[in-house]
Chain A
Amino acid sequence: MFETLILMLDATMRVSTPLIFAALAGLYSERAGIVDIGLEGKILGSAFAAAAGAAVFGSAWIGLFFGIMASVSLAMVHGFACITHRGDHIVSGVAINTIVAGLTVTLSMNWFGMGGQTPTLSGDSRFLSVTLPFADALANVPVIGLIYSELLSGHNILVYLAFAMVPVTYWVIYKTRFGLRLRAVGENPHAVDTAGISVAFIRYRALIVCGILCGLAGAYLSTAHNAGFLKDMSAGKGYMALAALIFGKWRPVPVLLACLLFGFLDAVAIRMQGVVIPGIGEVPVQAIEVLPYVLTVLLLAGFIGKAIGPKAIGRPYVKERA
């Protein structure tokens, strides 16, 4: 029983990683007042670019670089539309998701001709699991050994990075000048402008950070979690990250917990396939799969707490002119 739980938590960590990256990405963007429906597209774009880069150059790190570049470029398109041209944030996000969904398949067919996939990655072109020190030595120690060697050790570096990004984000958002300005831009851009700080520049920088984090999420999917790019491989993770962001009320630690909860539900859904629970019968997998979305809707409806987003979110900032 204990071992099963550890294995499920182990799976939870792996499934949650892209959600954590993407939800934190959304946090930077939305805290700065830019709604980001385009997380999905950025993840997918990065997943493709990272896998393509890794396949061509034989290095996961070069792949990661390309993934981040792709994702940041998409974030800049979003910024160009929403910040510079005061476009609708939702429309721009939908546009990015649509373009990427088509473009990744078009390019991968054209470049690799493998039915919309990239070549299978192996060795150095993937992020492989890291064994933490003493993991093998401690494996036989009861309880702690299992937790350390199974749950904590043996993930790839991006998993650890995702978890490390949570305190980093907390620090950046709450303890730095950039974070203060970023939050201010999302709540009251006029005040920031009055203080002589460029609203547009802060928002663009927030989007760059958002792009980098989505790039990590995408690269994780195609070069760490899987061994290559598959058509539509982001499979709604961007939207689920958005749900986690709302569920965590736009704050780093609760967002992490929401991602872990959603990841855990995913691990449960896989394990519960065809399992009959005494007294209840077989729980349909789909019922567990939809829980993140149902919970988010309930939260938004104010039935379990209240989700209040940044005040100026989704509104273009127009500088007053004399």
Chain B
Amino acid sequence: MSQAKVPAWVNIALIPFLNIMLAFVVSGLIILAIGEDPIEAAGYLIYGAFGYDEGVGYTLYYATNLIFTGLAVSVAFKGGLFNIGGEGQAYIGGLGVGLVCLALDHTMPFYIIAPLAILGAAAFGAAWAYVPAYLQARRGSHIVITTIMFNFIASSLMVYLIVNWLKEDGRMAPNSRTFEENAWMPYLHELFSPLGIDIGDSPLNVAFIIALVCCVFVWGLIWHTRWGYQLRTLGTNPTAAKYAGIDTAKVTIWAMLISGGLAGFVGINEIMGVNHSLLLNFTAGYGFAGIAVALMGRNHPIGIILAAILFGALYQGGSELAFEIPTITPEIVIVIQGLVILFSGALEHMFKDRIEGFFIRRAVA
């Protein structure tokens, strides 16, 4: 089956669109099955996500986390690696951010804390990805299993650290103390209001800008550097990569370090941007959602931004929907997310082969 004869738009737009539509249709059937009107539900969802300024802000705030984890998954994917450990890397990345903020917020100004916190997020996230990466590259243990194990290890480690060491004295809640305001990532609505632009109060903060910068960085890195070429070669054909003289172990390790670092940035948005303290379970499944985002975004930064905004809209619209129709819980969004992973990931060949076949036959005829 020759790829060249299939028009580009089929692969870029038509097949992903069909897969997503199928996921939505099945979600609609589920909503129908629990006795509600899917069209009405979709209306509330879209209004909640895009209908007013705060809604848009929330959508983009959720999208920020998803861009980070989506990029993280896709960088690893490009090298043929399945990093299922975004959840743990994001969690530990948040620890890096929290430690920097807790250590410096009394003494240092924001412009010193912010770069150090960003560095902390990347370094901690990358460090958490390093061990599975090393074991995959040098000792042949499967990265999927080790990253899953590291998610659980991260979760226990964080409970231990927060409950035993970082918890605020005399409080029951397992949180660290709240950071001083000079360690807060500025909200975008605060930055915009002096300019006379009102974008509505929302947790949307500078981390969103950082996420967009990361997209440009990943795009440049993967498609416009020698290393990116090596990564893509490794992902497409590991044997060829080896014979071409690429140090595959080294590329594997670096791909995972970058992936882990990107996942760690979730900590910037959540810890420094919104919660302003270190707390348990702030990653809330974003690491896994990143898999859906990367699959739907076809591992390309532009696709990832679009997919992240779509999922961000589902998260935000889902809360609105649950408010309007109480019989539908926000968890319906998780179902939709899973269906997207199923149809655009696991069942990607279902339509692809047939549609490609159709276009090839048409081209031949």
Contact = CB atoms under 8 A, between A and B. Distances in A.
A243 B149 contact: yes
Interface in A84-109: 85-88, 90-92, 94-103, 105-107, 109
B107 interface: no
Contacts of A90: 82, 84, 144
Contacts of A239: 148, 152
Interface stretch (A61-69, A177-185, A193-201, A293-301): A293-301
Contacts of B331: 101-103, 105-106, 109, 116
B347 interface: yes
Nearest to B134: A301
A85 B349 contact: yes
B116 interface: no
| A interface SS class | helix
A87 B345 contact: yes
B152 A236 contact: yes
A290 interface: yes
A77 B156 contact: no
B299 interface: no
| B interface SS class | helix
Nearest to A111: B34
Contacts of B342: 77, 81, 92, 95-96, 99
A37 interface: yes
B141 interface: yes
B145 A92 contact: no
Interface string B124-148: 0000000100010001111011101
A91 B77 CA distance: 12
Contacts of A309: 142
Nearest to A113: B327
Given A106-B30, A286-B160, A290-B152, A297 B341 contact: no
B34 A110 contact: yes
A77 B331 CA distance: 21
B152 A99 contact: no
A287 interface: yes
* A98, A109, A290, A300: residue with the most chain B Cβ atoms closer than 10 Å: A98
Given A87-B346, A87-B349, A300 B142 contact: yes
Given A98-B288, A109-B329, A286-B159, A300 B338 contact: no
Contacts of B160: 284, 286-287
Contacts of B337: 98, 102
B332 interface: yes
Interface residues of B, number: 48
A296 B338 contact: no
A171 to B, nearest CB: 28
Nearest to B152: A293
A92 B346 contact: yes
Nearest to A282: B164
Contact of B346 (A81, A242, A302): A81
A97 B342 CA distance: 10
A297 B134 CA distance: 12
A87 B344 CA distance: 10
B333 interface: yes
Given A98-B288, A236-B152, A91 B144 contact: no
Contact of A85 (B145, B146, B295, B350): B350
A289 interface: yes
B291 interface: yes
Nearest to A87: B346
Given A91-B295, A116-B329, A107 B338 contact: no
Interface in A225-264: 236, 239, 242-243, 246
B46 to A, nearest CB: 19
Given A92-B347, A105-B334, A289-B156, 12 more contacts: A87-B345, A90-B144, A95-B339, A98-B337, A99-B342, A102-B335, A106-B329, A284-B160, A286-B159, A297-B149, A300-B146, A302-B140
10 contacts: A37-B148, A88-B346, A92-B342, A99-B334, A99-B339, A102-B333, A103-B30, A243-B149, A293-B152, A301-B139
